[in-house]
Homo-oligomer: A and B are copies of this chain.
């Protein structure tokens, strides 16, 4: 498997340069990237525009289907509840994230991805290779904002 998390991290770095919370995501099908996204909340002034949502939106358009079966989402930060719910709704099979949220310890992401409500459970995997880089980028961003 190619180093898709590195691609997601590049997108997080792009978000950082654009003064957005630095999070990046890519969606992979058959070992190919079919959609990418980085956080655009501030620029677009839109609460929905997290990296994962942008990538899922693009992937649905590309595949012309709301079902993203057999897709893997790589994201630099563990998804928030909105994005975890969107991942379930789009039937993405596996989520690989680099670092955990520092501020929340509510376990909501796992609860949502493991819920029975859609007869669809999502595998949630942490890839520790890029954990520190992803986490340091976020810390740097928030330190500068203070």
Contacts and interface: CB of A to CB of B under 8 A. Distances in A.
Contact of A45 (B64, B83, B86, B91): B64
- Which of under 10, 10 to 19, 20 to 34, or 35 or more describes the interface residues of A? 35 or more
Contact of A66 (B45, B60, B83): B45
Given A81-B81, A81-B115, A117-B103, A48 B86 contact: yes
A49 to B, nearest CB: 8
Interface in A32-69: 41-42, 44-50, 53, 56-57, 60-61, 64-68
Interface stretch (A4-12, A104-112, A124-132, A137-145): A104-112
A116 B104 CA distance: 8
A12 to B, nearest CB: 18
A68 B47 contact: yes
Interface of A: 41-42, 44-50, 53, 56-57, 60-61, 64-68, 80-86, 88-91, 101, 103-104, 106, 108, 111-112, 115-117
